[in-house]
Structure 1
Amino acid sequence: MSITLNRIPVLPTSLYVEGSVGRPSATLAGILHGVQQAALKSPTIAACVAVNVVVMYYIVSFLMSRNTTPLVGYPRWLGSYAGALRFFVNSQGMVDEGYRRYKGRFFRLPLWTNWNYIVTNEKCIEEMYHLPDDVLSLRYAAHDELAVPYTMGQQIHDDPYHLPILRGKLTRYIDYLVAECLDELPMAVEDEIGKKCGDSWQEFNAFDVSIGIVARTFNRILVGAPTCRSAHYTETCKSFAMNTAMIGLLINLFPSFLHPIVGRLFTRLPYLLRRTLVDLGPIIAERKAAKAEFGDNWTDRPNDLLMWLMDAAKGIEQEPARLAIRVLVINIATIHTTAATFTHGVNNLLDHTEYIDALREEAESALHSHGWTKQAINQLVRSDSFFKESSRLNGLGTSNFPRKALRDITFSDGTTVPEGSYISSAWSVHTDEEYWPDPMTFDAFRHIQDNTVGGKANNSSGFIRTNSRYLIFGHGKYPCPGRFLATYILKATLAHILLNYEIKASEQGRLPDILFQYNRSPNVRSTFMIRRRKVA
């Protein structure tokens, strides 16, 4: 050590700038100027100063901090960036550790630019999900986490008029929307699977198949047919969803003052918007012309999201580019999450093939009684429980998407979350043995008794029923508005595949996609085998 220390040069006296009377200047400006000159003369000095400044910062932060909410996942003296790095590579372990050590309380996790307060107290979870938007905001958290100005456009944050449309219309027109999806889904499955396989086993990429079916089926109610069947359009929607997540993460690795520069360097928004307008531009122009010509007498007015947006948009939001970006943004919340959930379900089914016959028999009985209708899908009680169990064990992440505190919030247990921090709930509750007997065992039908009424899934699907112990779709005032349609599509897709195809596991290894890194199943495969089923 002495040899190493001897190699570090002595701090030069030029650190202080000489004053007019030949004495060192004690002013801050003089000291800073001296440090600057010393750094220019010796990079080693600059490095020493930087290291000492960082060390002093963390020491002062440690001594001055009065926040009593426990930290998780790293030695505090290493600083929050050490914890953020660990969270980046092992968020599941950190959340599980915090839940195990501080169940019934709050604990803190460091992110790159903020703190995420994880709530595990059931009463506080209920309080969190019922706070008003001007106190605890999902929209403001998304603005920061997804770097919205550079991935979606600032207007999505400033004027989120699409949100009340989704909350109102998706419920009001649920029968019509489900019928549209059920009409499109068999054609989507046929194009993604049926045309590519025959009587012999054929290998398919699980996620590619799932996302193709989901993107096309969902877009039937977003933009209508035949646009939803355009490969160019659906590929753009898929790319936009992935680019938003990845570029938002990349931008947030940089300090906030660099975001305007980094955001403009990395954004793909203008390119993807141009691609979208190739498909949606002519449709928007045609619909505007029809509205102008027929007004309220337009008898064959489309009943889809794009039309709802056109009816509600004001001012500049009526421009085709502004309408198109709203459609892309809504695709983010539907395509990848639903496709990933279905892929998890397939993998769980292939790990537990003993459930295949029971699920197939239920689908045959429901379709025999009701045909390919919403009423038939409501009868898929086993399928409903199957997907709820799969999502319980394989949430897409480690906690709910955080909400941002817009002012200091004090909860009933006395915990105060400071303004600007994030708050979330841990999905470790889904594997808590206090609430779920033998929680790590996949029991596909464990939810049937609780979530059924009169032989059918309650409230269209027990899968969508939220509470403080089951938080896949959020909870409280504004759970995911698309969860009703998502569950119909999930159950209908599984039923259609089981009725028309045989399925078995392939020999491929773990899925590399980031969407699947939190799966608790030991055998997450990237592909599966399918062949047409011979029906007597």
Structure 2
Amino acid sequence: MASTPLLYVLVIILSAVYLLRRRSNPLYAIPAVGPSLPLLSYIGALRFTRHAHEMLQEGYIKYKGSAFRLAQLDRWVVVLCGPKMNEELQRMPDDQVSFLDAAEDLVQTKYTIAKNVIENPIHISVMRGPLTRNLAPLLLDVIDEINIGVEEHIPTRGDEWVSVPGLATMTQIVSRASNRVFVGLPMCRDPEYFKIISNFPRDVAKGRFILSITPTFLKPIIGPLLPWSRRTVRQYSALMKPIIEERQRLLLEHRDPHDPDRPNDFMTWLIEEGRAVDQPVDLLVNALLSSNFVAIHTSSISVTHALYNLAAYPEYQQPVRDEIVEVIKAEGWTKQAFGKMWKLDSFMRESQRMFGISAISVIRKALKDVTLSNGTVIPAGTLIAVAAEGTHYDEGSYDNPYIFNPFRFSDMREDEGERIKHQYVSTSSEYVSFGHGKHACPGRFFASNELKAILSRLILDFDMKFGGDGHRPPNQWFGSSIIPSQTANVMFRKRPDAGL
């Protein structure tokens, strides 16, 4: 019995130490949205998984111009609010905040994808460099694959309306078009290949969830045991390793970069980048899979959002169609032509403003204590993000932000000084769908041309609408991720003047 008072004293001492450490930690001086007390914060984290939209909106309204924190199951995330804060975060030097470290913490890449793509992210260099520089010559292959994919996956008959699953169909077409560049024919049309790459985002998500509820000290033990991504990586490697090795042999036979028989595509550039850092074939396999994970997941969501808006607002199809016809007749199916499609570009940008892929963006991890301009101190090791949805619905930046105005940005570009700022691929402190600054999405230029090619083909060839009352179905939220309805069908009818 004598030990009972000692136990009470020990509990009191430990509680006092914990509270003192908590009070001295600047993280807890940042206001929280949701419960913030020990243990109760887990209720806020669970609430965030289902009500992120409301919690982020509440935080943006209360703390615009400053920051708030949100509980996750394994950490706190500090969210900055408003264009000024967005700009401040993207300007912070890499020795203070890190994009790659933040991405690794969020995705747990070394367990859910592969450790070597974190240590040597060669796919990012290829996207930022040769892929972007070679968009024009690659475009004809992309368009060819899109045309074939549209014919296969939207099987219209005469002037009848046919109903097609929106997100699933767009994922098929984006996958084929992207992999025509990533791995070429015939693999980009292989059903087994498609099954592997389309299942991979779900495999990663399962692993992320398990690790998000795993204590930090146990992650090195639990992470390598997760089966889903490991199985997919093995399957992908079995398909792609022989193809990559054959390509390496071909490149040795055709060393001259001007040799017409030398392939000039994404796989070649990855091999060259891998050779520069003296890495084995396994890195090339994992880099290709990572490229698919990033490109197909985000592009499929973005183009589906745009498709749903075309179907929900059919009155805007003809103005965009008229522009596409005029430009294609003058320029052909070229990169230059897509650059002149201002209405289509604006439609895509407005669609992405209102219906993004995530409600947060510009993710960083503090490598040291960071002090914001308003005096807020963010301790080292903290994840930081900006409120993307709050930014995009901010009345200080956009007139009538809750109204879908597809030509909002093309109208802005009529002012010569605003033409670059309001392009689909341009980032700013008021528009952060692709991130912002030097770590903005490196593949957005390829994605822009690919999505314009898909939407141009759909708009030229079909009338589109939703059945029933014609309204756009609501999005689905998974934490901060925004997914267009996975069950919605879009109705297509072949136009009598289709084709160009």
TM-score computed with the length of structure 2 as normaliser = 0.89
| CA RMSD in angstroms, aligned pairs only | 3.2
1:15: Cα distance to partner? 4.6
Letter of the aligned partner of 2:392 in structure 1? H
Q: Does 1:463 align with 2:424?
A: yes
Aligned partner of 1:228 among 175, 183, 188:
188
**1:168-317 equivalences in 2 (<5 Å):** 168-194=129-155, 198-296=158-256, 299-314=260-275
**Larger Rg belongs to:** 1
- Residues 439-475 of structure 1 show CA distances to partners (whole Å, capped at 9, x for unaligned) of 1111111111223578xx9559811111111100111
1:121: Cα distance to partner? 4.5
1:267: Cα distance to partner? 3.0
More divergent stretch after superposition (462-471 vs 393-402): 393-402
Where 1:395 maps in the other structure, the secondary structure is coil
**Conserved? CA contact 2:52–2:480, under 8 Å:** no
Distance 2:94 2:138 in 1: 28
Seq. identity, %: 33
1:124: Cα distance to partner? 3.3
Question: 1:435 maps to what in 2?
Answer: 397
Q: Does 1:82 align with 2:46?
A: no
Question: 1:445 maps to what in 2?
Answer: 407
Q: Does 1:383 align with 2:344?
A: yes
Distance change >3 Å, CA 280–CA 63, structure 1 → 2: closer
- Residues 239-258 of structure 1 show CA distances to partners (whole Å, capped at 9, x for unaligned) of 11232133212221111222
Distance 2:277 2:88 in 1: 38
1:134: Cα distance to partner? 3.0
Distance 2:480 2:372 in 1: 32
Distance 2:170 2:98 in 1: 31
Distance 2:480 2:103 in 1: 21
**Conserved? CA contact 1:72–1:108, under 8 Å:** yes
- Residues 285-338 of structure 1 show CA distances to partners (whole Å, capped at 9, x for unaligned) of 211222333433754222222111111214996433321111010112111111
Letter of the aligned partner of 1:447 in structure 2? F
Distance 1:460 1:221 in 2: 28
1:431: Cα distance to partner? 0.6
Distance 1:71 1:106 in 2: 9
Q: Name structure 1 gaps, 5 residues minimum.
A: 1-12, 17-23, 36-48
Question: 1:6 maps to what in 2?
Answer: none
Distance 1:512 1:519 in 2: 7
**Conserved? CA contact 1:182–1:373, under 8 Å:** no
Question: 2:465 maps to what in 1?
Answer: 504
Highest RCO, 1 vs 2 (Cα 8 Å, sep ≥ 6): 2
**Conserved? CA contact 1:510–1:524, under 8 Å:** no
Distance change >3 Å, CA 511–CA 431, structure 1 → 2: closer
Aligned partner of 2:65 among 104, 124, 132:
104
- Residues 381-416 of structure 1 show CA distances to partners (whole Å, capped at 9, x for unaligned) of 111111111111112121115211111112222222
1:130: Cα distance to partner? 2.4
Aligned partner of 1:356 among 296, 317, 334:
317
Distance change >3 Å, CA 53–CA 110, structure 1 → 2: farther
Distance 2:14 2:47 in 1: 19
Where 2:441 maps in the other structure, the secondary structure is coil
More divergent stretch after superposition (350-359 vs 72-81): 72-81
Question: 2:285 maps to what in 1?
Answer: 324
Distance 1:453 1:184 in 2: 36
Where 2:256 maps in the other structure, the secondary structure is helix
Distance 1:487 1:466 in 2: 13
Distance 2:30 2:273 in 1: 44
More divergent stretch after superposition (56-65 vs 68-77): 56-65
1:55: Cα distance to partner? 8.2
**1:329-348 equivalences in 2 (<5 Å):** 329-348=290-309
**Conserved? CA contact 1:135–1:405, under 8 Å:** yes
Distance change >3 Å, CA 520–CA 429, structure 1 → 2: farther
More divergent stretch after superposition (266-275 vs 82-91): 266-275
TM-score computed with the length of structure 1 as normaliser = 0.83
Distance change >3 Å, CA 401–CA 328, structure 1 → 2: farther
Distance 1:258 1:480 in 2: 32
**Conserved? CA contact 1:340–1:515, under 8 Å:** no
- Residues 491-527 of structure 1 show CA distances to partners (whole Å, capped at 9, x for unaligned) of 2211111211222203499468657987699x99611
Question: 2:107 maps to what in 1?
Answer: 146
Letter of the aligned partner of 2:160 in structure 1? S
Aligned partner of 2:117 among 146, 150, 156:
156
